[in-house]
């Protein structure tokens, strides 16, 4: 990651001072760096060219950061990673354009691998992420959303980049079997991660995500806990969801009431179980990779990671 951070700092440079200033504001604010770490770990596991892996890990982080910058403008976010969001500090127009700059830099880094396959994987993931965000915007505050749409949405906006972050290592190592396994691993890991994120938004405890608890509720996002709560909602409860999520008429203590409805219908526990199910799928997908010549400690860590992610749930 030291090499990747060096690459990130170098590639953020621009003769337009606002660009590195705004980009660094978000990148330096923290974050788990989980996606680039996945690229590094899986590349090391397959003994791929690590110089290329450093560039690809930086590219993955740039793509992720660009989507966060764009999301905050679309959502009108006020906070990101415990600090005022970039769009409020620098302005919406500036934030969108710096996001575009980071996307472009990501593609420049991809080209350095001289692999059209890797370029194809990450460019496809970038377009799918945009589709997922548009789908989420389209169904925001729409109680008619079903499980198929929800899974398609989080599969696009979150799991697609997790999947690509792992798959590119297989392409870099020219190992087709490992590439297929890592694609599946990353996808299921991403789904588990997002369902965990969605569930923690309603956990009545200290925030574990670097965002405000209840953000999804206030923004009218229909997530797994709400879908489970809606399955057995009474007429009165459905009227509550209509008022808060559809009409955005949120009153004091509405978040607490929403959480109590989820607890009443077991929605939070069912969401946790669903996240654990996808975490288990991710771990099992690695079984198809021959491990005799691989770093046993590293493969063990990758197998343990999905469980670690969902362990954030109480």
Three-state secondary structure string covering 190-259: HHHHHHHHHHHCCCCCCCCCCCCCCHHHHCCCCCHHHHHHHHCCCHHHHHHHHHHHHCCCCCCCHHHHHH
From 27-36, 266-275, 276-285, the region with the lowest mean pLDDT: 27-36
Summary mean pLDDT of the chain: 92
6, 79: one domain: yes
Distance CA 197, CA 271 (A): 10
Distance of alpha carbon 268 from alpha carbon 12, whole angstroms? 40
Percent of the chain with pLDDT over 70: 96
Is residue 313's pLDDT more than 80? no
- The number of residues in the chain equals 314
- Together in a domain, 253 and 143: yes
Q: Do 162 and 56 belong to one domain? A: no
- Across residues 125-150, what is the average pLDDT? 93
pLDDT at 207: 46
Q: For 56-70, 81-95, 101-115, 150-164, which range has the lowest pLDDT when averaged over its residues? A: 81-95
273 pLDDT above the threshold of 70: yes
Same domain? 170 vs 313: yes
Average pLDDT value for residue range 91-120: 95
Give the pLDDT mean for 168-175. Answer: 96
Phi and psi (nearest 5°) for 228?
A: -65, -40
Indicate whether 152 and 252 sit together in one domain: yes
What pLDDT shows up at residue 211?
A: 55
**pLDDT at residue 143 tops 80:** yes
pLDDT at 293 over 70: no
Q: What is the pLDDT of residues 41-62, one digit of tens each?
A: 999 999 999 999 999 999 999 9
Residue 238 pLDDT > 70, yes or no? yes
Average pLDDT over residues 239-253: 95
Mean pLDDT of 117-140: 94
Tell me how many degrees the CA angle 287-47-297 measures, rounded to the nearest 5. Answer: 50
Q: Is it the case that residue 186 has pLDDT exceeding 80?
A: yes
Looking at the fold, whether 199 and 312 belong to one and the same domain comes out as yes
User: Mean pLDDT across the stretch 232-256?
Assistant: 95
**Full residue range of the structural domain in which residue 169 is found:** 115-314
pLDDT at 205: 56
Out of 80, 114, 148, a domain closes at: 114
Query: End of a domain among 114, 142, 162?
Result: 114
- The CATH number of residue 84's host domain is 1.10.600.10
- The reply to whether 134 and 13 lie within a common domain is no
Q: How many structural domains are present in the chain? A: 2
Split at pLDDT 50, 70, 90, the class of 212 is: low
Among 114, 139, 157, identify where a domain stops: 114
Contact 141/161 with Cβ under 8 angstroms?
Answer: no
Return d(Cα 31, Cα 188) in angstroms, integer. 21
Q: Indicate whether 144 and 278 sit together in one domain.
A: yes
pLDDT-derived band at 209 (thresholds 50, 70, 90) equals very low
Note whether 214 and 255 are within 8 A (CB): yes
């Amino acid at each position: 990651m030291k090499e990747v951070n060096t690459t990130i700092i170098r590639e953020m440079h621009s003769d337009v001072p606002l660009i590195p200033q705004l980009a660094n504001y978000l990148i330096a604010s923290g974050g788990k760096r989980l996606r680039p770490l996945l690229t590094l770990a899986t590349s090391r596991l397959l003994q791929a060219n690590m110089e290329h892996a450093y560039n690809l890990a930086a590219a993955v982080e740039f793509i992720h950061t660009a989507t966060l910058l764009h999301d905050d403008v679309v959502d009108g976010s006020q906070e990101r990673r415990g600090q005022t969001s970039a769009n409020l500090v620098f302005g919406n127009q500036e934030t969108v354009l710096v996001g575009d700059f980071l996307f472009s830099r990501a593609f420049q880094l991809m080209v350095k691998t001289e692999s059209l396959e890797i370029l194809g994987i990450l460019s496809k993931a970038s377009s799918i992420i945009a589709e997922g965000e548009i789908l989420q915007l389209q169904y925001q505050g729409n109680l008619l959303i079903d499980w198929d749409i929800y899974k398609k949405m989080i599969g696009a906006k979150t799991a697609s980049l997790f999947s690509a972050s792992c798959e590119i290592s297989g392409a870099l190592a020219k190992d087709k079997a490992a590439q297929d396994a890592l694609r599946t691993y990353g996808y299921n890991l991403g789904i588990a991660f997002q369902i965990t994120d969605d569930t923690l938004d309603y956990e009545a405890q200290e925030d574990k995500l670097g965002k405000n608890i209840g953000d999804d509720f206030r923004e009218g996002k229909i997530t797994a806990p709400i879908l489970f709560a809606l399955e057995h909602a009474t007429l009165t409860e459905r009227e509550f969801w209509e008022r808060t999520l559809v009409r955005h008429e949120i009153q004091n203590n509405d978040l607490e009431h929403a959480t109590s409805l989820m607890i009443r219908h077991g929605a939070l526990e069912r969401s946790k179980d669903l996240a654990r199910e996808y975490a288990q799928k991710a771990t099992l997908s690695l079984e198809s990779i021959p491990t005799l010549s691989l770093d046993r400690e590293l493969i063990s860590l990758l197998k343990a990671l999905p469980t670690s992610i969902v362990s954030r749930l109480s």
